[in-house]
């Protein structure tokens, strides 16, 4: 009877293998869900900011530049400042009525890990107030 050697049953180490096999599936699924939620959050925030900027610029005595500045301010308050670099505003016509269009173009990185980034273009419109 030697005390130094233990016999290993056939399932010795199976838990570690099962753990690795489950992680191989769950980690990419988790990171994918996290990436989609990040892109949707950024898109919804940019859409709200563009719409707010367009409504602000469409009020009396304000122009497209003030709407773009308002949009940049909204974006900087909710997201990183680099997302505010691609803001443009211009006067357009919607169904014959003068309007303001604010467009935001950004590139959302893939969780900061490199890899493919997601390019987003969002637009907000508002009909101009008439005196």
Supply the DSSP string of 63-92, one letter for each residue. -HHHHHHHHHHHHHHHS-GGGGTTEEEEEE
Cα separation, 100 vs 128, in Å, equals 7
In a domain, 1, yes or no: no
What CA–CA distance (Å, rounded) separates 40 from 3? 61
Q: What pLDDT score does 42 carry?
A: 92
Residue by residue, pLDDT tens for the chain (131 residues) are 556 566 667 777 788 888 999 999 999 899 888 888 888 999 999 999 999 999 999 998 899 999 999 999 999 999 989 999 999 999 999 999 999 999 999 998 887 566 688 899 999 999 999 88
Domains held by the chain: number:
1
Q: Which domain holds residue 98?
A: 15-127
pLDDT the model gives residue 32: 85
Q: What pLDDT does 95 receive?
A: 94
Assess if residue 6 is contained within a domain.
no
Q: Is residue 3 part of a domain?
A: no
Per-residue confidence (pLDDT) for residue 23, from 0 to 100: 94
């Amino acid at each position: 009877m030697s005390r130094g050697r233990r016999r290993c049953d056939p399932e010795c180490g199976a838990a570690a293998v099962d753990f690795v096999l489950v992680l191989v599936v769950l980690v990419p699924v988790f990171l994918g869900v996290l990436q989609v939620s990040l892109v949707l959050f950024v898109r919804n925030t940019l859409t709200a900011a563009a719409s707010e900027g367009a409504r602000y610029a469409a009020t009396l005595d304000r122009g497209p530049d003030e709407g773009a500045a308002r949009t940049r301010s909204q974006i900087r308050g909710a997201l990183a400042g680099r997302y505010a670099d691609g803001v443009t505003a211009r006067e357009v016509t919607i169904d014959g009525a003068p309007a303001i269009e604010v467009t935001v173009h950004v590139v959302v990185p893939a969780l900061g890990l490199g890899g493919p980034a997601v390019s987003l273009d969002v637009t907000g419109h508002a009909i101009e107030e008439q005196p």
